[in-house]
């Protein structure tokens, strides 16, 4: 999820723009050696204003 400086969601409902912002931020932090990541689109939730973000860490 990408947020503006006032903690508002950037590009609500636009998965492509959200993904672009997320990867732009990852590139700014990690450079070209990005960590493993998965980005999955959910086409709809029970209410259009609801958002969900899941974060997980795998330990090997």
Averaged pLDDT in 10-residue chunks for the chain of 60 residues: 79 84 90 86 80 81
Per-residue confidence (pLDDT) for residue 27, from 0 to 100: 93
Per-residue confidence (pLDDT) for residue 46, from 0 to 100: 85
Per-residue confidence (pLDDT) for residue 1, from 0 to 100: 66
For tokens 């590139």, the residue is 27
Per-residue confidence (pLDDT) for residue 50, from 0 to 100: 81
> Which residue, 22, 24, 26, 57, is CA-closest to 39?
22
Per-residue confidence (pLDDT) for residue 5, from 0 to 100: 83
């Amino acid at each position: 999820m990408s947020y503006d400086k006032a903690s508002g969601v950037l590009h609500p409902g636009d998965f492509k723009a959200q993904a672009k912002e997320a990867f732009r931020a990852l590139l700014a932090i990690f450079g070209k050696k990005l960590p493993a990541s998965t980005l999955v689109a959910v086409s709809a939730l029970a209410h259009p204003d609801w958002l969900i973000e899941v974060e997980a860490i795998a330990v090997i």
